[in-house]
Chain A
Amino acid sequence: MEKTGLNKVDLIFEEIDPKEVLIKASKMTSDEIIQNMLDSGLKGRGGAGFPTGLKWKYTAAEKEPEKYIVCNADEGEPGTFKDREILDRVAYKVYGGMAIAGKAIGAKNGIVYLRGEYRFLLPKLMTELESFHKMISEIGFDFKIRYCLGSGAYICGEESALFESVEGFRGEPRNKPPYPTTSGVYNKPTSINNVETLVTATMIIKHGPASYSQLGTKDSRGSKVFSISGDTPTPGIFELELGMSVQEFVNEFGDGDTKAVQVGGASGFCVPRKKFQDTIIGFEGVPTGGSMKLFNSSRSMYNVLHNYLDFFAEESCGQCTPCRVGCQQLLKGVEKVKKGEAKSIYLNELVKLADTMKIASKCGLGQSVGNAFKTIVENFREEIIY
């Protein structure tokens, strides 16, 4: 039967016995664990969507004895709040995923990098971590996790900036290559994974890759936790099977007057009403780390765009010129067009600038500013001008 509509799933928040899963993992070889991830089709849930099995495989292949598992809990993308909820409700599954990853790649140390905005959760998370450490030592798992806190910098969610921050430096992204799998935190081979990716890994070991890969589509296997906000009667956190169209999503979560959905946060893409039907949410269409913002016809897309550009201009680390200057110029540029100080044709120049930033910026921040910029300007040009 062909799958239609939208299927709610309960995998990420399902209560499980972590001990059972870890005992199962402890009896598997490193290769078997990695093969499970590869077979499941799991792609990273932090936004970039790199296959998790491959990331573990590359890190496992490194000869260096000291390696790290890093859990990226910096969650700063506007409109994303699922990692907070996951940590709040099922942190033990995050820790479990880290220990499993550790076994797969041959790492004995894990670091959770938690954004400073979530510091209120830390006492509870530490208590749970203590019980976790006790539990895994009982089953003979040699793995230790510690926390590092962020201090209010969105860019520290970018993996290499995160490593700099852990090491006590300014969170400025590094040049790539080398990639984290060869030289990550403390310049050691590192597998860095999103909170949700690690929980999913735990569930794949529990249920097996075959059952997991039945969910979703060829390019986007499994389910995903969505953070839903904006003009919707039901804002919140929902786990959904991948492969739905934006239309199906809007039918469920819209307020009857949805004119656009911003998929993937400020660094993601704006989908206008006329494209709802033909746009798939997932790697074959619009990818997302989970941020879904709905806008109804009472909203000015100029305000939305301005808000995003203001965000990027503030959060750009300033290290490379295309992004540092580009963000500010895009912001000033749309203000000028709005005020009538520049002709509407100037928007075309700004689109070219966004394209240049994509090619010339050092990291994913500068490279993705153009996503929202172009999709909003292309689809809502009149709202930007008038």
Chain B
Amino acid sequence: MYQVGNLVKELSDKHGRQRDSLMPILQGIVEKHNYLTDEAMVEVAKELDISAAEVYGTASFYTFLDTQARGKYVIRICKTITCSMKGKIEIIQTLEDMLKIKVGETTADNNFSLIETNCIGWCHKAPAMLINEIPYTELTPEKVVDIIEGYMLK
């Protein structure tokens, strides 16, 4: 759990307080904290003067506006057909072994979440994944180890 503090106000100053400011504000919170807490959503509702149900209803539609707790680095592995054909299973295996979690879980230190996602537009360089917004492509188990070790040192 994090405290949103002034973030909602800052984002509202930047993006406005109209209905169409809602997405950029929620995206701004997720960019910083990786998921939306109830507190954050209530705060947004107050700031935009709409009901919290509206905020939650919108957020829950979008897979990237997570309403369940996620780690600092959200790993999204593509599970669509080409990545699936080109070794997605070995990549997931490697990640699960390294992070000691299963798909859908978050590490105990809250550093990594592992989830599957649909085609991320890198099929010609499959298998592919995103870590937060950064794409990683043409993955092999060895490459994945290097990448994750890099994040562990951050």
Contact = CB atoms under 8 A, between A and B. Distances in A.
Interface of A: 75-81, 83-84, 115-120, 148-154, 165-172, 227-231, 235-237, 266, 293, 299, 303-304, 307-308, 311, 314-315, 317
Interface of B: 18-24, 26-27, 30, 57-58, 61-65, 79-82, 84-85, 117-126, 130, 133-135
A235 B133 contact: no
Contacts of B119: 76-80, 311
A229 B27 contact: no
Given A166-B20, A311-B80, A81 B62 contact: no
A229 B62 contact: no
B130 A307 contact: no
B23 A165 contact: yes
A151 B65 contact: yes
Contacts of B30: 151
A117 to B, nearest CB: 5
B63 A153 contact: yes
A167 B20 contact: yes
Given A151-B64, A169-B58, A307 B124 contact: no
B64 to A, nearest CB: 4
Contacts of A149: 23-24, 27
A81 B124 CA distance: 8
A229 B61 contact: no
Contacts of B57: 170
Contact of A168 (B22, B117, B118, B122): B22
11 contacts: A79-B123, A81-B122, A120-B133, A151-B65, A152-B117, A168-B18, A171-B62, A229-B124, A230-B123, A235-B124, A293-B123
Nearest to B82: A229
A170 B81 contact: no
Contact of B85 (A115, A154, A227, A230): A230
Given A78-B118, A78-B119, 13 more contacts: A78-B80, A78-B81, A78-B123, A81-B124, A83-B121, A152-B62, A166-B20, A168-B21, A168-B58, A172-B61, A230-B85, A299-B85, A303-B81
Nearest to B120: A117
Contacts of A154: 118
A120 B23 contact: no
